[in-house]
Amino acid sequence: MGKTALLGAVVILALSCGVVWAEQAGPGEGSDSGLFSGTFGDSLWTVAAFLLLLGVLGKYAWKPLLKGLNDRQNHIEEQLKSAEDSRVQAERLLDEYKQQGLSVVRQATEQAQRHQQQMAEKCREEAQAIRRRAHEEIASARATAIDDLWKQTGDLVLQIGSEVLGRTLTEQDNQRLIDEAVARIRRNGGLQ
C-alpha cells in the first residue's frame, strides 16, 4: 500500500505543477486549447509529467506486472515439465507392467505345460498298471484253466483206464496214472 500511495502522490503533484504553470502563463498565451498550442514551457512540463508518470508506472506497475507474468510463465513451464516427467514415468511403468504381464503369462503357460505333462505321465502310469494287472489276471486265469484241464484230463484218463482195464482203480493207482500222464504231456511240450 505504501508504493501505491507514493505513486498517487507523485502523479497528483506532477499534474498539479503542470496545471499551475499553465495558469501562470496567462489566458492570452494559452488561448488555443491544443496539446502543443501553448508555450514551450507548457510542452516541457507536459513531457516531463508524462516521463515522470511513465517512470513511476514502469517501476511500480509494469515491473511488478511483468514480474508476475514471468513468474506465471515459469510456473506453467515447471508444470509442463512436471507433466512431461509424469508422462515419461507412466510410460516406463506401463512398459514394466507389460513385461510383468508377459512374464506372468509365460509362467502360467509353462506351469500349464508341466501340469499337462504330469497328467499325461500319470495317465501312462495308470495305463501300464492296468495293463500289468490285466496280464497278471490273464496269467492267473490261464494257470487256473490249465490246472482245470489237467484235472479233467486226469479224470478222463481214469475213466478210460477203468473201461479199458475193466476194473476199478484205486485212488493210489489213479494218482500214479495221472502223474505219469501229466509228466508225459509236459515232456512233449504240454498245453500251450
Question: Residue 49 in contact with residue 21, Cβ under 8 Å?
Answer: no
How confident is residue 54, by pLDDT bands cut at 50, 70 and 90?
confident
CB within 8 Å of 37: residues ≥ 6 apart: 30
pLDDT band for 130, please (50, 70, 90 cuts). very high
Q: Output the nine-digit C-alpha cell for 73.
A: 510463465
Does the pLDDT of residue 65 top 50, yes or no? yes
> What CA–CA distances, in Å, run from 82 to 68, 69, 72?
21, 20, 15
pLDDT in tens, 141-182: 888 888 888 778 777 766 776 666 655 667 777 778 778 877
**Cα of 170 vs its chain's centroid, Å:** 92
Is 177 within 8 Å of 158 (Cβ atoms)?
yes
Q: Is the pTM of this model over 0.75?
A: no
Listed residue (136, 137, 146, 173) closest to 157, CA to CA: 173
